[in-house]
Structure 1
Amino acid sequence: MLLGTSAAVVTGAGIKAMSWLVGPVFLALIIVIAVSPVRTWLRRKGMPAWLATTALVLAVFGVMLVMVLVLVVSVAQLAGELPNYAARADDLIAGATAWLADLGIDGDELHQITQSLDLGKLAGVAGSVLASVGGLVSNIVFVLSLLLFLSIEASAAPARLAEIAQDRPAVAVALADFARGTRRYLVVTTVFGLLVAVLDTVALMLLGIPLALVWGLLAFITNYVPNIGFVLGLVPPALLALLDGGWQPMVLVIVIYCVLNFVCQSLIQPRYVGGAVGLSTTVAFLALLFWAWMLGALGAILAIPLTLLAKALLIDIDPRARWAGALLGARGGG
């Protein structure tokens, strides 16, 4: 028990220290798992293995590059728009401060809070984010290289799994289940993320909320963050609606987002994901906190696939650990 705990602590510390490397490696691995059926389909259509791998890697790289370019433009637009609402924000803060003071809340505390609410600071933060986005380009090149090598290695994965199955069948089954579950989760999450992002963007455009495309992109990205992704995608457009048009547009944005999220992600999406994840809501939330702490924003986005991988390697391969699978909310433990 003590030895296992020590090993877990050392492993966690190593992952934390090497997060700059571990994060992109996990991202490349999960992307390869997600798109591997496309490569198999291209091979069945007669495309040479090298050409299928190259085409797939270039397609993924193109999508990632477009996402980064859109992100750069979006952050630049946001940094340019925020100062325009400084006066309106000051008026709202002053009104809220007076209202809270009437309720008997200490004035000194309110003054400290209002001093921290500065759109100029937020614009500066947005500018620094824009400056740091350039670092994503080098990360994308690194991920592209990993994708290329992992995609080449992926062609031998079935044979290696078959070899593993001869000696450790439980390990082979656990890894195969992890790949299928992760692939299904990512595909369904991506499809519904696109659907919600498009609907959110259209709704914001109809309401006249500025930067509707930016908030649609944010809704798509935060859709991968379990539990709190919806809130992360809702707060910025709701606040901008408040600054731009007052309380009524903000309430409309909140209501529309809540309805779309409930229908798409609470009623429809679980039917397609089914038991692919097999994690309880509490475990998913704890996984989000853990991986975000370990790997930053990338860890938050990849929290579910990373947890499924850890579950496959630590629980599903060992029949004696089925009790742990039951605690996590997994199906039968493997």
Structure 2
Amino acid sequence: MGISQPTSGVLKGLLITAALFVVLAGLKSASVILVPFLLSTFIAIICNPLVCRMERYKIPKPLAVLLVVIIFVSIVLSLAGLVGNSLSQLSEEMPTYREQLNEQLVWVVEYIAQFNIILSKELVMEHVDPSAAMSLAADMLSGLGNVMANLFLIIITVVFMLFEAPSMPHKLHVALDDPQMRLKQIGKFLTSVNDYLAIKTLVSLATGVCVSLMLWTFGLDFPVLWGVLAFLLNYIPNIGSIIAAVPTMSLAVLQLGPAYAGFIGLGYLLINTVMGNIVEPRYLGRGVGLSTLVVFLSLIFWGWLLGTVGMLLSVPLTMIIKIALESTKEGKWLAVLLSGDEVQESDAKTA
């Protein structure tokens, strides 16, 4: 007796779900190896345009790769030193910030008591702790630093990837054994990822520099640390800038007072409005937009799967999946679901 078609469909769905869970469990178990590899891949994608530009100026490829790697390592080591010193000082100053917080909370509780709103000082101090946001940011940067402890392995992998980059589209074409010349789709896929990451990195770098300069002007402690955090979290559109501003404004409230914290919040808003709504769309065009819900869910998912690096790379990783889905008839409908509203309307016609 044959199995009915609805039952067959249910079994197929269960098998796919089970296989997906097995794959995710394997990826999570292999995260120690997978995370440095993914980081190396994205660094290579970002650095490859520099190598190509140097080759156009008749610089031999080995020398171009060497120069790019030296520049990258110099920047990473310099930032690591500055961020490491800032994190150490932040840890030392954390008790002082907590004392300042307690003093301010006592004043707030006493002030609102005049309006017959009675709150327990101990309860408020237990549940309201802006310094926790600073600790969370410090833990995130420390987690990234732990991954970068494998810097030598990452650099070696990046070097090999940069040498292999020109032949990668052809290799993928041959590996897929596609007689219909899907090489153009493969090239479009790699070019889209490359352009997105390169432009996003430059915009994020400009955002981090502007944030550091703004905070230095206000006299806030550790401006470089918060600038690096703004640079990293700018890879997460829509909500990344908000997450980056929370620990900074928490510190501003404690160190400079609510008024200056408000001005710093306006500064964050201005910087991210200019970078996110004027500069970035000009170079990315329509871009490869994701809906805000997908961005948030991808942040949770990749963070759970790969830790701190997964959170920072959540949008690029989801973007790669979306671009890959757009290149196939079978997956285009899912790419439309991942897209923002304005992209859905234009892509729905071709899905």
Aligned with 1:195: secondary structure?
helix
Greater Cα offset, 143-152 or 128-137: 128-137
Q: Which residue of 2 aligns with 1:321?
A: 331
CA distance in 2, matches of 1:29, 1:266: 28
Q: Which residue of 2 aligns with 1:204?
A: 215
What is the CA distance between 1:259 and its match in structure 2?
2.0
Greater Cα offset, 77-86 or 112-121: 112-121
Q: Which runs of 5 or more residues in structure 2 are unaligned?
A: 1-12
Identity %: 28
Aligned with 1:167: secondary structure?
coil
Residue 255 of structure 2 is aligned to residue 244 of structure 1: yes
The 8 Å contact of residues 82 and 119 in structure 1, kept in 2 or not, is answered as: no
The 8 Å contact of residues 134 and 250 in structure 2, kept in 1 or not, is answered as: no
CA distance in 2, matches of 1:203, 1:93: 27
RMSD: 3.2
| AA at the equivalent of 1:66 | S
Aligned pairs for 1:112-191 (under 5 A) are 112-115=123-126, 135-164=146-175, 167=178, 172-191=183-202
Q: Which residue of 2 aligns with 1:79?
A: 91
Q: Which residue of 2 aligns with 1:8?
A: 20
| TM-score, structure 2 normalization | 0.81
| AA at the equivalent of 1:57 | V
CA distance in 2, matches of 1:245, 1:158: 53
What is the CA distance between 1:253 and its match in structure 2?
1.0
What is the CA distance between 1:317 and its match in structure 2?
4.2
**Structure 1 residues 60-104: Cα deviation after superposition (integer angstroms, max 9, x where no partner):** 233322232222122123223333334321111212334566677
Aligned with 1:47: secondary structure?
coil
**Structure 1 residues 142-194: Cα deviation after superposition (integer angstroms, max 9, x where no partner):** 21122122223224214324535761658644443332222222222222223
Residue 298 of structure 2 is aligned to residue 287 of structure 1: yes
| AA at the equivalent of 2:59 | M
Aligned with 1:156: secondary structure?
helix
What is the CA distance between 1:118 and its match in structure 2?
6.5
Return structure 1 stretches of 4+ with deviation > 6 angstroms.
Answer: 102-106, 118-134
Greater Cα offset, 87-96 or 49-58: 49-58
CA distance in 2, matches of 1:97, 1:31: 49
Q: Which residue of 1 aligns with 2:276?
A: 265
Distance 1:116 1:171, change over 3 A: farther
The 8 Å contact of residues 218 and 233 in structure 1, kept in 2 or not, is answered as: yes
Distance 1:76 1:169, change over 3 A: farther
How many residues matched?
Answer: 332
CA distance in 2, matches of 1:34, 1:135: 21
Aligned with 1:278: secondary structure?
coil
The 8 Å contact of residues 175 and 312 in structure 1, kept in 2 or not, is answered as: no
CA distance in 2, matches of 1:44, 1:239: 48
